[in-house]
Chains A and B, each alone.
Chain A
Amino acid sequence: MRAPSPLWAFGLLRSELLTTFRRWRTLALLGVLAAVPVLVGIAVRIETSDGSSVGGAGGGGPAFIAQISNNGLFLVFTALAATLPFFLPMAVGVVAGDAIAGEANAGTLRYLLVAPAGRTRLLLTKYTTVIVFCLAATLVVAASALVVGALLFPVGDLVTISGTRITYGEGLGRALLIALVVAASLVGVAALGLFVSTLTSSGIAAMATTVGLLITVQILDQIPQLHALHPYFFSHYWLSFADLMREPVYWDELVRNLGLQALYAAVFGSAAWARFTTKDITS
């Protein structure tokens, strides 16, 4: 038998990334995400063109939306706050849910395993690819918002939530940090989606289940009677990324969010592994 190359896992990862990002569906999801900041930016620009502020006196709408007309960089924060509850996790749910189930559905899973890709390695490759997609999706939203914000609104020094001023350069740094935290916030959904994906041989069913769970959790998170459970919902601390715009940064909920995502990744990652490595592949 030929000796396996130590770098072979990266060959499979490279192939997986190429395959995922060459798919029309992946590009369409990223396109929709890129369009959100454009819509928000244009809407704010139209509403504030007469000099009034967004949403009237009472505010409303996603976080930071009122500041956009003063500084285009705030469109990045607004766009991330607008897409994080639904658009971003939905896109991740589609990609994660399809990861194994889609291959099973197409029958390509059996050929990958006979190649032999190895079940643990294939699962790790799939999860890594979904994480890369989380990052790519978040960065697409952030980059689109950054460009649209700079085109439609003035840019310059900005004021944090705490009222202190920071330079535009530092603001960009915070924006990047926020994008990374938002991407990390999706790690839990990604693991959940991957686990669901190992349960079925239908890509559509896995995607629908993952997105359905996402919506259910978001609704349950709004019901006050379930208060005791809220800290365990993967979406509960999502909007804590706004704390990065405080001076000094308020870390409590940020850390709790990242810890919760790690917990989800560990629990559902293990479940996916246990399921996938013992599963009979009959499709």
Chain B
Amino acid sequence: MAEASATEPESRDRGSADRGSTDLGSADRGSADRETAGRQTAGPEAANPEGAGPETAGRERADDAVIATRALTKRYRGGQLAVDGLDLTVPAGSVFGFLGPNGSGKTTTIRMLMGLIEPTSGSARVLGRPMPGAARTVLPGVGALIEGPALYGFLSGRDNLLRYDAADPAADPRTRRARVSAALDRVGLVAAAGKKARAYSLGMKQRLGLAAALLQPRRLLVLDEPTNGLDPQGMREIRALVRELASDGTTVFLSSHLLDEIEQVCTHAAVMARGRLITQGAVADLSAGARGRLVVTTPDPADAARVLKEQGAGDVVAVEDRVTAEPPDHDLAEVNAALVAAGVRVRGFGLERASLEDAFVALTGEGFDVAG
């Protein structure tokens, strides 16, 4: 079943063909394979540290990871443990999805990575340097959208960007206006650039926040819920932008509570719940961890359920004309034949690919929207 889900790239709307065929994350494949699949910008080890032999994997993770944390922990005053012993590794060149319900510690983690919050213990390295210690050299290479955009309402969109750019010591004042215009253009805000930011809609504010993250060429983009408040068209545009940036070699660290969003754009993902990292790895591996389900559509659900049980299927659930079950180990063609032979009128028979949500439920034993 793992193969079945991993070799169906066309079903996951990756946008561009070169990225769609990468079979991202099947860790058993060689890194050269990946290199030919359209990752010219990042080196093979950088693109896939897991692809290296097990004896070197540890060292390469530490060297090439864009973000690497070791036992990162944050306990707020008052004793609340927000992040508990986090070991996170974000490979260079990846589009990394950071998943978890609200209150699971995602934002606290991001704030520690950006030097806004001091960890209680543990360490974090961003772009190979320790945070928050090396903030001054690290952060000019990082564009960030943290917990939604924040703007000066009394300034125009353009003036907001000029101000944020002026705060960056590494930004060249001579190219400031041109870079601001380019960033506005990239997020489609040129027409509204002269308007006061307080008159912006949430979607426009979100775009302006993204523009601020794109003022300079960045090695890492940290985007916390970037499609929040956007309409479906805006969400598609942002996803396209993320893919475009990633294809330029920028590592994108994307937090979201929308699982299908992560599935659509991310190559790697990590899942947090209650301050702990539950799992991390390539997206295909994560959803492969959860088995797909066999789905039979039939007007005879009771008979179908009985036959499926006889065939060795587990966890048979019949809802109206739909019967789902854990697929048995033998050939599904035989299962279908058995159904037909038993007189079940089969209208639909297929394997539903395991989604990341299934993986999440399998990992946590609970629904995704449950706040930790």
Q: 1/0 per position for A171-201, CB-CB distance to B under 8 A? A: 0000000000000000000000000000000
Cβ 8 A contact of A114, one of B146, B154, B162: B146
Contact with A113, one of B116, B155, B165, B169 (Cβ below 8 angstroms): B116
Q: Chain B contacts of A114 at CB under 8 A? A: 114-116, 139, 142, 144, 146
The answer to whether A110 touches B163, judged by C-beta atoms less than 8 angstroms apart, is no
Q: Is B148 an interface residue (CB 8 A)?
A: yes
1/0 contact trace for B172-207 toward A, CB 8 Å?
Answer: 110000000000000000000000000000000000
Let me know if B170 and A280 touch, CB within 8 A: no
Q: A2 to B148: give the CA distance in the assembly, Å.
A: 27
Q: Mark contacts of A252-283 with chain B using CB atoms, 8 A cut-off: 1 yes-contact digit, 0 otherwise.
A: 00000000000000000000000000101110
Q: Interface extent on A, as a size class?
A: 20 to 34
Instruction: Please indicate the chain B residues that have their CB under 8 angstroms from the CB of A122 in the complex.
Output: 167
Q: Is A216 in the interface zone, CB < 8 Å from B?
A: no
B164 to chain A: which residues have CB within 8 Å? 111-112, 115
State whether B152 touches A106 (Cβ < 8 A): yes
**Given the complex of chains A and B, what is the CA–CA distance between A5 and B166 in angstroms?**
11
Q: Which of B137, B141, B147, B166 contacts A12 (CB 8 A)?
A: B166
- For A1-40 the 0/1 string (1 means CB < 8 A from B) is 1111100110110110001001110000000000000000
B115 close to A116 (CB less than 8 A): yes
Q: Are B150 and A107 closer than 8 Å at their CB atoms? A: yes
Q: In whole angstroms, how far apart are the Cα atoms of A117 and B114 in the complex?
A: 12
**B85: min CB distance to chain A, Å:** 19
What would 7 more interface pairs be, CB under 8 Å, given A15-B167, A107-B150, A113-B116? A1-B140, A8-B169, A12-B166, A107-B149, A110-B114, A114-B115, A281-B111
B interface list, Cβ under 8 A from A: 76, 111, 114-118, 135-142, 144, 146-155, 162-173, 212
Listed by A's residue number, 29 A-B pairs whose Cβ atoms lie within 8 Å are A1-B141, A1-B170, A4-B170, A5-B169, A5-B172, A22-B154, A106-B152, A107-B150, A110-B114, A110-B116, A110-B147, A111-B144, A111-B150, A111-B164, A112-B164, A112-B167, A113-B114, A114-B114, A115-B164, A115-B167, A116-B139, A116-B167, A116-B169, A117-B168, A122-B167, A280-B116, A280-B117, A280-B118, A282-B111
